[in-house]
Amino acid sequence: GAVVSQHPSWVICKSGTSVKIECRSLDFQATTMFWYRQFPKQSLMLMATSNEGSKATYEQGVEKDKFLINHASLTLSTLTVTSAHPEDSSFYICSARDPGAGGDYEQYFGPGTRLTVT
Amino acid sequence: AQTVTQSQPEMSVQEAETVTLSCTYDTSESNYYLFWYKQPPSRQMILVIRQEAYKQQNATENRFSVNFQKAAKSFSLKISDSQLGDTAMYFCAFIDNAGNMLTFGGGTRLMVKP
């Protein structure tokens, strides 16, 4: 099956610094990738939809200047949390859709990145 | 906008028994896709089963099956012969035919007891 990786799996950064999270589709080309945020014991909340070669579409309430998304190639999307603060601490998950998988629109999920801001 | 509701925040079942997780959704679309995802303690999202709305036959994957009631907008998951490894969060999810956005329910935490 399709595999999506994320790096790093866990990152600790100091308040005020920026951190970049990478999401890669390993065995397929993903024209669309998605970024989610998940708080403990809660569901996944869609932050933005990332389309290769164009600007990301952010969900209402998500600060686009704080959460920078770049989808420069068909296998890589990055999420940069700028000027991180403790309230940005969370679990971030990416997913990718395989356009070659037919019309079922299944999304393949990365293993997630735990961000802790001190 | 579509909404997905899971009314059971937590459930438990004895090993080898059967458990059913509930999910209802609201949409004005006629064609769409429904999914159940499992999130074990590792937090990796794993697809358990999928259902296309245009198919009347309920999907089955080994010990996992669904009861899809389109008119009632209900999509429950039945786990037979529960195993300890089934302990996880389970999320019901909806995506419309345009495939624009996956909408998740709030999740059900399932504990399988030995």
pLDDT in tens, A54-93: 889 999 999 999 999 999 898 999 999 999 999 999 999 9
Residue B76 has pLDDT above 70, yes or no: yes
Inter-chain CB proximity B33 and A44 less than 8 Å: no
Beta bridge partners of A93: A36
* Residue of A107, A114, A115 for testing the chain B interface, max B β-carbons within 10 Å: A107
Query: CA of B32, closest CA in chain A: separation in Å?
Result: 9
Tell me whether the omega of the peptide bond preceding residue A111 falls within 30 degrees of 0, making it cis. no
pLDDT at B81 over 90: yes
Give A75→chain B minimum CA distance, Å.
19
Q: Which residue has the higher pLDDT, A74 or B67?
A: B67
Choose the closest CB to A43 out of B44, B91, B99. B91
A97, A105, A109 ranked by CB distance to B44: nearest: A109
**Chain B interface test: which of A6, A41, A44 (most B C-beta within 10 Å):** A44
Q: Does the pLDDT at position A99 exceed 90?
A: no
**From A92, which residue of chain B is nearest by alpha-carbon distance?**
B43
Check B50 against A44: CB less than 8 A apart.
Answer: no
Retrieve residue A108's tokens: 């393949």
pLDDT band at B98 (very low <50, low <70, confident <90, very high): confident
Tens-place pLDDT, residues A38-55: 999 899 999 999 988 888
Residue B45: C-alpha distances to residues B35, B36, B62 (Å): 12, 10, 19
| Residue A106 predicted with pLDDT over 90 | no
Strands A113-117, A10-13: pairing is parallel
The answer to whether B104 contacts A111, with C-beta atoms less than 8 Å apart, is no
Give dist(CA A22, CA A34) in Å, integer: 12
